[in-house]
Structure 1
Amino acid sequence: MAKKNDVIPSVLAFEKKLVASDGFLYGTSWEERLEKSSTKPVKLIEKSVRGTISNRLKPALQSDPLKLNAEVEKPNLQTVDNCALPEHLDTLKLTFTLKVLGGVDKPSASNGDGFNKVFPDVVRQYTEKSGFIELANRYALNIANARYLWRNRVGAEKIEVHVRADGKQWKFNAREFSLRDFHQTNSEVQELATLISSALSGKMPFLLLEVEAFALVGKAQEVYPSEELVLDKGKGQKSKILYHVNDTAAMHSQKIGNAIRTIDTWYPSYAENDRLPIAVEPYGAVTNLGKAFRSPKDKADFYSLFDRFALGEPLASQDEEHYVMAVLVRGGVFGKSSDKEKD
């Protein structure tokens, strides 16, 4: 068998196979949620507010009441974006499309002849053994449970998801599906998963899903599109900027994609982490927790597994194979530098 340095290319990239659009936010009423005439785009509202000082203070200020009072008296003036349903509408509607592509066995860029000969057989063996069914079932469940609503999911009285694809249509009660259990399913989820697996395995050229999610949150209630990263917080800048497309509040495609690929229950500390699925990432990174759950030290990261898997070497479990393939579906640049470059 060839040496690893001869097989893993220095230039290696895979295009993502789950391509989500931006998500667009609309307001409607629960009783008329399927009537397009009752659907109104959700607009952003700019507010200027005076907040209180609430950040952690230096010890010198904490111990001196006069200095503390002087600090608290300072106005905390902010201009922020806000987003809420109109006063007469009680339901949030989120719409987006998701394209599922095949061709995981074909890198978008690779300068390794040895790798290009070996790797397609490795993917073919995985496809023959599992057919992408495990991954597809998890993606389908994340579509059905409306994980991509993120904060809008919290406190919603009812959540309903409609999916259209390939001339078929499905309706899901999102509350029936757990955000943690990927073994809970039904015939409709399995039917959707079968289509997704067919696209991933190349049995069909592509699959385009049209998704509509309805969340009954209450009249005039605040809703939550994506928040833009404020790089320049100079004078006159808003401290919170929400994302919109042509004046319609929206979610970033990256945020929707992150929710759909939150299927990794195979990382080592899954049981200790309250059985919480994380998004598929090469190092199991969860930025809001400031932690990487797949450490190279434990040989649980993508690169440690991929460098063996790509050569046809057996991994410790099929779960590790599922994880490696899920990262390839995610896409990315995975080239391996030479030892000289590392030094």
Structure 2
Amino acid sequence: MQICRHLTYVRSLSPGKAIFYYQTHDCDFVPLQLETNKIRAPKSGFTEAFDSKGKLKNISPHDLAYSNPQCIQTCYVPPNISSIHCRFSLRVEANSLEPETCEDIKVKRYLTKLSHLYTQKNGYKELAIRYCRNLLIGTWLWRNNHTLGTQIEVTTSDNGHYVIADARLLSWDGEWPERDQKTLLALSAEMEQALTNPDKYWFADVHAVLMTGFCQEIHPSQKFIERKEGEASKQYATTSCVNGEKAVCFHAEKVGAALQLIDDWWDERAYKPLRAHEYAADRKNLIARRHPINSNDFYSLLKLTAVYIRHLRAVKSADEIHPNIHYVMSILCKGGLFQRGKS
């Protein structure tokens, strides 16, 4: 199957902003706010003493001892507050069952058939379990999951209520206690229905309670800005409340990126799950784990749709589904523009 010039999918998972707040005796929602500090940072960068070729600049020892004044934003737990709440909503839709736009009828027929067979063979169960695993272990909390205890509670539009007492005790590839394993399977069964039923619109309210240390630092999303004179060099994301106050938060995109950390199919010896991405970008190591030269990137595998259709027809259980099919379907669930362009 050749990739056509116009091919798009709408994302299946749509998280909202994750808001940080705390509770007091008088109010159950007090937005966690920022502080702006001016500090005298020491000069420590490579370019302070060396040029781009590594040669020493003509500077005196005194030059490197001067401070470098900076204005930054910080976020800390207020004194006498022992727990911080972080909450977001998640909408799941069956948008991967067929393309949103596709100019080639044959391509659309192939892709629709692929998702139909994937549904029949319970392939979406594997994706749902992986998404829900990230929900329940608090992957979406990023650096804030290092706490004295992290309780995660999920309430769904199907009247489901799921609680993980301490997400710190769970891991992506570790053994889960029987109770938490049942919670994972029950929650993922609801999500699987939402991923496969186009008439179902499923919502989940995800709420984490972080037991924190005294005045512990909190790490919201960081803004990418073009700094103006007098502004902080490091700024965090905020959202406005109805009373005009601003609460620090995670961008919806950052939450979504954490839920999409499910691709451990990129190698037989894969040691960590990567974000579902067309080239499996490993940002920590600055390398694409699915480089086209290896023919395991999304676009190379998408051309094998007809082969995957024949494979799905032959398999008898979800355990027999080839990992490349799970990967391709995870990218379709992620959504995006997949056309090859006018050229």
TM-score range, shorter-chain basis?
0.7 to 0.9
Matches of 1:85 and 1:19 in 2, distance apart?
A: 29
Any conservation in 2 of the 1:141–1:177 contact (CA below 8 Å)? no
Matching of residue 177 in structure 1 with residue 176 in structure 2: no
Instruction: Say whether 1:304 aligns with 2:295.
Output: no
- Given that 1:141 and 1:182 are in contact with CA atoms closer than 8 Å, whether structure 2 keeps it comes out as no
Cα deviation 1:96-119 (Å, max 9, x = unaligned) = 000010131221111111112232
Q: Which residue of 1 aligns with 2:138?
A: 146
Q: How does 1:1-343 map to 2 (within 5 A)?
A: 4-5=1-2, 8-28=3-23, 37-56=27-46, 57-59=48-50, 67-154=59-146, 156-165=147-156, 166-172=158-164, 173-181=166-174, 186-202=181-197, 205-230=200-225, 232-246=226-240, 247-268=246-267, 270-271=269-270, 275-309=271-305, 312=309, 314=311, 318-337=322-341, 341=343
Whole-angstrom distance in 1 between the partners of 2:237 and 2:28: 23
Write the distance in 1 (CA, Å) between the matches of 2:163 and 2:210.
14
The 2-side partners of 1:14 and 1:89 are apart by 44
Q: Structure 1's 163 and 16: CA in aligned 2 closer, same or farther, altered over 3 A?
A: same
Q: Is the 8 A contact 2:15 2:89 kept in 1?
A: yes
Preserved contact between residue 237 and residue 248 of structure 2 (Cα < 8 Å): yes
Once the two structures are TM-superposed, the CA of residue 224 in structure 1 deviates from its matched residue by 0.8
Letter in 2 for 1:324: V
77-86 or 67-76: bigger deviation: 67-76
* Alpha-carbon spacing, 1:72–1:143, altered in 2? closer, same or farther (3 Å): same
Q: 1:176 to 1:204 in 2, by over 3 A?
A: farther
Quote the sequence identity (%): 24
Deviation, structure 1 residue 215: 1.3
Name the amino acid aligned to 1:304.
Answer: S
The answer as to whether partners of 1:103 and 1:202 remain within 8 angstroms in 2 is: no
> In structure 2, what residue type is equivalent to 1:161?
I
Give, in whole Å, the separation in 1 of the partners of 2:58 and 2:110.
73
Q: Distance in 2 between matches of 1:306 and 1:83?
A: 44
Q: Could you tell me the TM-score, scaled by structure 2's length?
A: 0.87
Letter matched to residue 200 of structure 1: L
| Kept in 2: contact 1:308–1:314 (CA 8 A) | no
Q: Are the aligned partners of 1:263 and 1:280 in contact in 2 as well (CA < 8 Å)?
A: yes
Q: Name the CA distance, whole Å, in 2 between partners of 1:292 and 1:302.
A: 12
SS in 1 for 2:155: strand
- Greater Cα offset, 194-203 or 307-316: 307-316
- Give the equivalent residue in structure 2 for 1:32: none
Secondary structure of the residue that 1:93 maps to in structure 2?
Answer: strand
Letter of the structure 1 residue corresponding to residue 153 of structure 2: H
- Between the aligned partners of 2:174 and 2:258, the Cα distance in structure 1 is 15
Whether the aligned pair in 2 keeps the contact of 1:278 and 1:284 (CA below 8 Å) is yes
What letter matches 2:35 in structure 1? I
Question: Aligned equivalents of 1:182 and 1:15: distance in 2?
Answer: 34
Structure 1 residue 176: Cα displacement: 3.1
- The answer on whether the counterparts of 2:7 and 2:101 sit within 8 Å (CA) in structure 1 is yes
Instruction: Tell me the CA shift for residue 123 of structure 1.
Output: 0.9
- Cα separation, 2, equivalents of 1:310 and 1:10: 19
**Secondary structure in 2 matching 1:37:** coil
Compute the TM-score of the two structures, normalised by the length of structure 1: 0.87
* Aligned equivalents of 1:308, 1:65: Cα separation in 2: 56
Q: Deviations over 1:79-103 (max 9, x none)?
A: 1111111111021211000001013
Q: Is the 8 A contact 1:131 1:197 kept in 2?
A: no
Deviations 1:16-37 (A, max 9, x none): 00000010001248xxxxx893
Decide whether the 8 Å contact of 2:17 with 2:88 is kept in 1. Answer: yes
CA positional deviation for 1:309 = 1.7
- What is the alpha-carbon root mean square deviation over aligned residues? 2.6
Shift of 1:161: 0.2
Hey, what's the Cα distance between the residues in 2 that align with 1:53 and 1:138?
44
Give the stretch that moved more between structures: 301-310 or 92-101. 301-310
Aligned residues: 324
Q: 1:36 to 1:99 in 2, by over 3 A?
A: farther
Relative distance call for 1:137 and 1:331 in structure 2 (3 A) is: same
> By how many angstroms is 1:181 displaced?
4.2
Letter matched to residue 174 of structure 1? A
